[in-house]
């Protein structure tokens, strides 16, 4: 609650905020599970500590994602960076056209929209600059096969529609946000009702459709050992950012 001088995130009295949550429960202020979990998750994010996380309940079932990745690029290393669609910018460097920077996202100026989105959905970063960086695609994520906050790890439902406009006034992209099912869970079979969903993700109760034989088969390989895929060509997924034949593993 009293961060050191120079700390760039808002101060938060964690104990006091947990007490507020408890009081809302006692007062019956929560009328649904989602509102309670959202308040709890926002408090966890407010700690800005990468070693503190929560993956439970209804908010653990899905991540939300843009269908397109983005990058922040200065075209000559001197001008202020602008935000581009990653694929568009990379294609422009090989196909001889000039990519257009993104102007707005859902009617809001791009930098303003992305700064708000990062502050809401990022966790574990002690400065807003790092939150911004984690919206962007980059080779180390390609190598590890992990998403970024904007195109794979959004926690809070952003709505269904995603509209992107460009500075060159070309046709806007009319898209839908994607919901990515967090399939770390058991082989539950279909969760067909709201009750099934609540019972499994909130109460931890396996549905009658759970198949433990299928669960074991998905974890164990054909020879009875756990299957681990080795990385392929490191540079093929990272646009040459890493060597073809690294001498370390």
Report the alpha-carbon distance of residue 133 to residue 124 in Å, rounded.
Answer: 13
More confident residue, 162 or 53: 162
Q: Please determine, for residue 227, whether its predicted confidence score (pLDDT) is greater than 50.
A: no
pTM: 0.82
Q: What is the pLDDT of residue 83?
A: 98
Convert the pLDDT of each residue in 78-122 to its tens digit: 999 999 999 999 999 899 999 999 999 999 999 999 999 999 999
Mean pLDDT score, 48-63: 90
Judge contact between 61 and 201, C-beta under 8 A: yes
Structure tokens at 42: 């926002």
Alpha-helical segments (H) within the chain: 14-26, 33-46, 86-95, 110-121, 128-133, 139-144, 194-201, 212-219
């Amino acid at each position: 609650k009293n961060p050191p001088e120079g700390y760039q995130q808002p101060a938060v009295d964690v104990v006091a905020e947990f007490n507020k949550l408890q009081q809302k429960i006692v007062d019956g202020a929560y009328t649904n599970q989602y509102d309670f979990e959202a308040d709890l998750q926002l408090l966890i994010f407010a700690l800005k500590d990468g070693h503190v996380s929560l993956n439970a309940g209804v908010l653990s079932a899905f991540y939300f994602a843009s269908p397109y990745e983005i990058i922040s690029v200065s075209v000559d290393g001197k001008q202020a960076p602008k935000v581009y669609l990653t694929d568009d910018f990379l294609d422009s460097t090989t196909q001889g056209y000039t990519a257009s920077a993104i102007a707005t996202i859902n009617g809001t100026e791009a930098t303003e929209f992305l700064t708000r989105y990062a502050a809401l959905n990022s966790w574990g970063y002690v400065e807003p600059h790092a939150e911004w960086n984690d919206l962007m695609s980059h080779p180390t994520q390609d190598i590890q096969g992990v998403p970024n906050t904007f195109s794979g790890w959004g926690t809070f439902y952003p709505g269904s529609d995603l509209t992107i406009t460009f500075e060159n006034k070309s046709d806007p992209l009319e898209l839908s946000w994607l919901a990515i099912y967090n399939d770390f869970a058991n082989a539950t079979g279909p969760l067909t009702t709201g009750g099934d969903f609540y019972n499994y993700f909130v109460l931890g109760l396996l549905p009658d459709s759970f198949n433990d034989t299928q669960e074991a088969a998905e974890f164990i390989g054909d020879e009875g050992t756990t299957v681990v895929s080795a990385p392929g060509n490191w540079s093929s997924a990272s646009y040459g950012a890493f060597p073809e034949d690294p001498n370390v593993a």
